[in-house]
Chain A
Amino acid sequence: MDLDGHSVGVFHVEGEYYALLNWCPHQGARLCEGRLWSGLESDVPGDYATRTDRAVIACIYHGWEFDLRTGRSVCEPERLRVRAYEVTVEPDHTSDQDGVTLGRPSRTNATARTFPVTVEHGNIVVDLRRTPVSGTVPNGPRNLSEGEIHHTHIPSEGSLQPGGTR
């Protein structure tokens, strides 16, 4: 959904809601078009432990995985992440129509708008001010090989893809 110029993907996995900026920090692909996977952990060869509470989305372009909760890259969690937003479901007291309450990123305040969604008995609130974990989106590539990361800023409206598509 478009939240004031930011394309944000909201995911509903195993009863939990997650929201990520629809913008792969690798080369800017629309992340939400990728495939959802369970988290996958292993200590020894041949061991595959799936973690549905650690769902990831694999980018449609090159398959890099990002943790839905934190936005962090599975391969390089310290160096690479996509913006993740706090999502909550709150009871809707104002309207029969369910909706999303959202604000836009700002240091001082947040404006809220409501979008129609199909959640019964509540609103999904995407807090554009806060990420679920501490820390900020990296300002730029650090110690990365040339070409690995082209954009790590939050794009302004219309700049989600080099080609202008959204």
Chain B
Amino acid sequence: MTSLSNTLRTETPLAAGNVTELIDGDVHNVIPDTHALFPYLSDHWREHITNTLFKGVPETSYPRWAPTTERPGSELPNWRQAGSDLSVVTRDVLDADGLSYAVLCCTYAIDSLHNPDAAIAMARAVNDWQISEWLDKDERLRATIVVPTQLPAEAAREIDRVGDHPGFVQVGMPVRSAVPYGSRLHAPLWEAISRKRLVGAIHFGGAPGTPPTPSGWPSYYLEEHVGMAQVFQTQVVSLVTEGIFDLHPDLRVVLLEAGVTWMGPFLWRFDKEWRNLRRLVPWVKRAPSAYVRDHIRLTIQPVDAPPSDIQLRQAIEQIGSDEMLVYSSDYPHRHASEPSRLLSVVTEAHAARIRSANARALWKLT
């Protein structure tokens, strides 16, 4: 299964800390069509997909042709999905940006599959597809293990199956979940991530069958899209409060497409309420902000930036750590903000961390 040689993995195009180095922490590789998974599915599932209405995952957090899903220039001919062609990703992201690494995040909505056997089979197929079609083809790529998060024990089994592949650096978890990820129901998932020394990657979206906002079902995709930052907050609160980082002191969790500037005020509130209520969770021995700064990382797209550079700089300073932000393009998704603006308002040393050093530390890219 492992085809990337150790030699390839340890070759680094640019020295760590070099300010010109760029690592992209969030690039989306998209399955072009369920048939692309056929080589990695059993006879049973190929026949099932061919002869029934089941054609793969029924949902996506990135509806096709929504302006946020495909940025101009990323569209592919013949109705193929943006982000599904390695050669285009290589040309437009890896080569165009001169990346030393890109971390792929496949957001195939395994969590929308209610048939557990279909969820397991499709997750396995997606991971094998990622190894063969992406990781084995470019040594600059790293990828995200896709798992059925709704079945934590099965997710752990899949992590154990492919987690030693050197190309996989993290486990994907859609931020929308039926039960927050800190819950003890998810213990096997975190144990497997920890066991394989991987990163927990909580990304935008998800289709767990529960409403995308804590107040119930909204009417429009816009509401779901804007409200996602609050869902990320609930996951961070859950992980710290339920002691995930006390159980797994080396664990790191990266939030993908969560936005950035809400973090400072959020931490202030989290610390404040912890002082009042900490007796409920005495294993939380330090201020929540200290756990977050040690264990949580954020990719910088979208930059939910205030209009003035002074305000943006203050918002970044409020986060209180220069080790938390990781550069990302979020290709092929489109955002109304440019990461270059964020990089220009912080100190040069901080910008260098965001561009590559924080990513190297997080994903152990040495």
Residues of A within 8 A of B (CB): 37, 40-45, 47-48, 58, 62-65, 74-76, 145
Contacts and interface: CB of A to CB of B under 8 A. Distances in A.
B283 A64 contact: no
A65 B280 CA distance: 13
B276 A62 contact: yes
Contacts of A42: 282-283, 285
B243 to A, nearest CB: 4
Given A43-B246, A45-B247, A76-B287, A64 B276 contact: yes
| Interface range, B side | 10 to 19
Q: Is the interface of B mostly helix, strand, loop or mixed?
A: helix
A44 B248 CA distance: 10
Contacts, number: 41
A41 B275 contact: no
B275 A75 contact: yes
11 contacts: A37-B279, A40-B282, A43-B246, A43-B283, A45-B246, A48-B282, A58-B279, A62-B275, A62-B276, A76-B287, A145-B268
Contacts of B275: 62-64, 75-76
Contact of B279 (A44, A45, A65): A65
A146 to B, nearest CB: 10
B129 interface: no
A48 B274 CA distance: 17
B279 A75 contact: no
Contacts of A65: 278-279
B277 A44 contact: no
A75 B243 contact: no
Interface of B: 184, 242-243, 246-247, 268, 274-279, 281-283, 285, 287
Contacts of A74: 278
Given A37-B279, A40-B279, A48-B282, A75 B274 contact: yes
A32 B16 CA distance: 55
Contacts of B247: 44-45
Given A45-B184, A45-B243, A45-B246, 9 more contacts: A37-B279, A44-B247, A45-B283, A47-B282, A62-B275, A62-B276, A75-B274, A76-B287, A145-B268
A41 B282 contact: yes
A42 B286 CA distance: 12
Contacts of B287: 75-76
Contacts of B274: 75
**Which of A44, A45, A145 has the largest number of chain B CB atoms within 10 A?**
A45
A44 B278 contact: no
A47 B275 CA distance: 19
